Amino acid sequence: MTSLLRFPPNELEELLVSLEAPRYRADQVLRALYQGGCDSIDALIQLPRDLRERMKTAGLTVQLPVILREVVSDDGDTTKALLSLPSGPTVETVLMQYPRSGRGPRSTVCVSTQAGCAMGCVFCATGQMGFERNIPAEDVVAQVLHFQRLLALRGEHVTNVVFMGMGEPLANYEETLRAVRQLTDPRAFDLAQRAITVSTVGIPRAIDRLATENLQVGLAISLHAPDDALRRRLVPTARPNSIAELLDSGRRYFRTSGRRVSIEYALVGGVNDAPRHAQELGKLLRGSGMHVNLIPLNPTAGPFVAPSRRGVREFRRILTEAGVNATVRIEKGSEIAAACGQLRTDVDAASGRGSAAFPSPS
Ligand code: SF4
């Protein structure tokens, strides 16, 4: 079975033509999928019944995730869903809403591109699960559609998508790119390219490749340390790539795409949050134009702890004094285990399917 969400408009047209349907049927299907609430081939009532039958015979389907668990933060701004995806795995997807004056909220969906993750960041719940499998593009798109349909019920819509959930998006390059194209195609989900951010822990070759795709998506590089030795302790798989190589690929991305690159830095109490780390980071990034997002680690069980509030403020102050723009990302919904991998870890532990209980940054 293949979900219709896999096909960009041009491929969908070809597919329908191969089923002896006129091309304009593609637009009807796309409208039903992305603007209507279509959840099955049978629900495509705009199409003649015999075409729907041919589509089913060809193995086409409309598959959406099943919600296993959904939790909403106390302030109602963050909704985290544990979704069973049509392709099999269980992943986390998060909706974060930020009020904006004079218009509807900014509604950002954080999608997962892999079940588990091979990058093994030591402070991350997903990293401790190990790698399970890649998520196909249609299931990345389906995660966004899940929240889009929820928001549509109250007259709102998804305004941004960040590829910052479970997994390393650039290690699932083809499917990530296919999902980005689907989400930004004016005939499909129609989100602005600039409303999308791909976050990577750093695969320089893949960053260079992304720069050649003629896209305007934002890039976030998760650094987490100002020197290679500490970084290799926190991100063991980063061993082959030095920080210098990573930042070089970020600079090349900026030159080619024109999009500024941001740096993600998870502040882990007593590990990488000392003033000297801030000073080193400041030296490293001064003049680069890169913006730093400081992410205080979510406090959960495990060997790592959150940084102190004072320490976070001081870290930011030192960066700012060094001429590096930095903001502290407010950890939305920490009471609902908003960091990636935590909800699934909690559910797995409760069901006896493993007990990794490390906090995670993103
Ligand atoms: S922080 Fe991101 S890259 Fe690192 S293990 Fe977790 S999901 Fe993977």
The model's pLDDT over 153-166, given as tens digits with 9 standing for 90+, comes to 999 999 999 999 99
- Ligand 1: centre distance to CA 181 (Å): 23
CA distance 181 to 338: 27
- Ligand 1: centre distance to CA 228 (Å): 17
Topology of the domain covering 66-350: TIM Barrel (3.20.20)
> Which ligand 1 atom is nearest residue 126's CA?
6
Residue nearest to atom 5 of ligand 1 (CA): 127
- Ligand 1: centre distance to CA 18 (Å): 41
Instruction: Name the residue type at position 106.
Output: R
**Percentage of the chain with pLDDT > 90?**
81
Q: Integer distance in angstroms from the first to the last C-alpha of the chain?
A: 33
Residue 87 has pLDDT above 50, yes or no: yes
Residue 339 has pLDDT above 60, yes or no: no
CA distance 241 to 334: 32
> Which ligand 1 atom is nearest residue 127's CA?
5
pLDDT score at 300: 59
- Torsion-angle region of 185 (φ positive above 0: left; ψ -120 to 50: alpha; else: beta): beta
Which residues are catalytically annotated?
92, 340
Of the residues 94, 110, 124, which should be mutated to test ligand 1's pocket, given the most ligand atoms within 8 Å of the CB? 124
pLDDT score at 145: 97
Phi, psi of 327 (to 5 degrees): -125, 155
> Which ligand 1 atom is nearest residue 340's CA?
7
pLDDT score at 49: 97
The neighbour count for residue 186, using CB atoms within 10 Å, is 9
> Which ligand 1 atom is nearest residue 266's CA?
1
Residue bearing the bigger pLDDT, 173 or 349: 173
Mean pLDDT in residue range 99-106: 89
Residue 341's pLDDT band (cuts 50, 70, 90):
low
CA distance 184 to 201: 23
pLDDT score at 147: 97
Tens of pLDDT, residue by residue over 249-299, are 999 999 999 998 999 999 999 999 999 999 999 999 999 999 999 999 986
Name the residue ranges covered by the structural domains of the chain: 2-61, 66-350
Residue nearest to atom 4 of ligand 1 (CA): 121
Q: Of 291, 300, 223, 303, nearest to 260 (Cα)? A: 291
Q: What is the mean pLDDT of the chain?
A: 91
CA distance 277 to 171: 28
- Ligand 1: centre distance to CA 120 (Å): 6
Burial readout 245-260 (b: 16 or more C-beta within 10 A, e: otherwise): ebbebbeebbeebebe
- Which residues have CB under 6 Å of ligand 1? 117, 119-121, 124, 126-127, 166-168, 201, 340, 360-362
The CATH class, in words, for 2-61 is mainly alpha
> Which ligand 1 atom is nearest residue 124's CA?
6
Residue 143 has pLDDT above 80, yes or no: yes
pLDDT score at 350: 57
Instruction: Name the residue type at position 317.
Output: R
Look at 5-19, 111-125, 259-273, 297-311 and tell me which has the smallest mean pLDDT. 297-311
- Ligand 1: centre distance to CA 283 (Å): 25
- Ligand 1: centre distance to CA 57 (Å): 40
